[in-house]
Structure 1
Amino acid sequence: MMKCKANQTRTYDGDGFKRRAACLCLRNEKEDEVLLVSSSRHPDQWIVPGGGMEPDEEPGVAAVREVYEEAGVKGKLGRLLGIFEQHNQDRKHRTYVYALIVTETLEDWEDSVNIGRKRKWFKVEDAIRVLQRHKPVHAEYLCRLADTCSPPYGPVCCPRTMDSKAPHYVVCSAQDSELFNR
């Protein structure tokens, strides 16, 4: 199923979830620093770059496209960290989250030019704390990076492997702050 938005086509899967993809953009193989971007809705808040998939677009391709548009980086796509479901009264999303090692950083990129989007490198631990305040599900993406999610950063959870062999997580709360295995 598809719905048109002014600047994009929204695609939905058979369960009615908006199809999304995102990448944790990592500075190097140590995976100790991550690139976050300013939110288009709340420019003073940091988020993980990602967005909706286009019709017939594979999740990995969408993730790479989204970080190029939103963060102005290119890189080596790595492992799928998990599939995160987010549903509450406002939204119903299913997001494929990948690790990506950044190999090229553009000086000017689409979202910096068009909407003034910023980007900033964070130590992973600091990014988790920043994201936990307003985007807990994004903090969970980082917790899955090394499977080191601990109570100071939010809920501890264990993945359940689905048929796709990717860990699958479900977020079911008004504040997106609880994560459940599926």
Structure 2
Amino acid sequence: MGNLDKKDESRVGRDQQRYAESGARMVAGCICLNEAKDKVIMISSSKHKDRWILPKGGIELDEGEDFVVSAVRETWEEAGIEGKITQKLPVVYDKRKDAPIIKGEFNDIIPKTEFHFYEMIIDTLSVKWPESDKRQRKWCSYSEAKHELIKSNRLELIDALNSCDILKDEELDEDAY
């Protein structure tokens, strides 16, 4: 996204946070791939330094109806990455057992969070970015990223990873025999 208004500091707080009609918190992020699509960037969690996740964060009310704006902003703030958006991925929902759920009007179970992810091909990995003092980044293959997300209990993020065009090295191993 060439016209990203890069800020030196991350937005904080939830006073401008967007929620779905269901009451679920709306979050956007990017699955950031290299040109060959065989590696993805993971970032360290700000709360749990030993856990690795994908860059994402709250969709804010002033960012309009195109959630790619929020996804690109969050990816810059958390990972210092700029690139080209290649596709919108299917919406995924928080599946963690310990995640609070909201009971709907008809006793439906409503997920705590609704995730809107986009696939991005990385153009630039900045040396300094808003959260560079709080987070690390690392390149992972599909199987390494999946392993890290399982360790971090972020199964909903695996759903997002599975929906992008990353080369799935587990499948290659099976085909080799």
TM-score (norm 1): 0.71
Q: Distance in 2 between matches of 1:25 and 1:39?
A: 16
Superposed displacement of residue 56, structure 1: 4.0
Shift of residue 6 of structure 1?
A: 5.8
Q: Are 2:140 and 1:130 aligned? A: no
Distance 1:31 1:16 in 2: 35
Runs of 4+ in structure 1 over 6 Å off: none
Aligned position for 1:51: 57
Amino acid at match of 2:83: G
Q: For structure 2, list consecutive stretches of 5 or more residues without a partner in the other structure.
A: 1-10, 102-111, 172-177
Distance 1:102 1:147, change over 3 A: closer
Kindly indicate whether residue 131 of structure 2 is the aligned counterpart of residue 111 of structure 1.
Answer: yes
Within 2, Cα distance between the matches of 1:98 and 1:147? 12
Q: Which has the larger radius of gyration?
A: 2
Match of 2:121 among 101, 119, 140: 101
Is the counterpart of residue 90 in structure 1 residue 100 in structure 2? yes
Supply the distance in 1 between the matched residues of 2:167 and 2:129 (Cα, whole angstroms).
Answer: 32
Of 47, 68, 71 in structure 1, the residue corresponding to residue 79 of structure 2 is 71
In the TM superposition, residue 125 of structure 1 has moved relative to its aligned partner by: 1.8
Shift of the alpha carbon at 1:44? 0.7
Runs of 5+ in structure 1 lacking a partner? 153-182
SS in 2 for 1:121: strand
SS at match of 2:49: coil
Displacement of 1:147 = 8.9
Q: 1:38-70, CA deviations, whole angstroms, 9 ceiling, x for partnerless residues? A: 001101110000010110422111100000000
C-alpha change, 1:17 and 1:148, in structure 2 (3 Å) is farther
**How many residues end up aligned between the 2 structures?**
144
The DSSP-based 3-state class of the residue aligned with 2:50 is coil
Q: Which has the higher strand share?
A: 1
**In 2, Cα distance between equivalents of 1:76 and 1:130:** 25
What is the DSSP-based 3-state SS (H/G/I as helix, E as strand, rest coil) of the residue aligned with 1:51?
Answer: strand
* Greater RCO structure (CA 8 Å; 6+ sep): 2
Deviation at 1:100, TM superposition (A): 0.3
Alpha-carbon distance, 1:94 to partner? 0.8
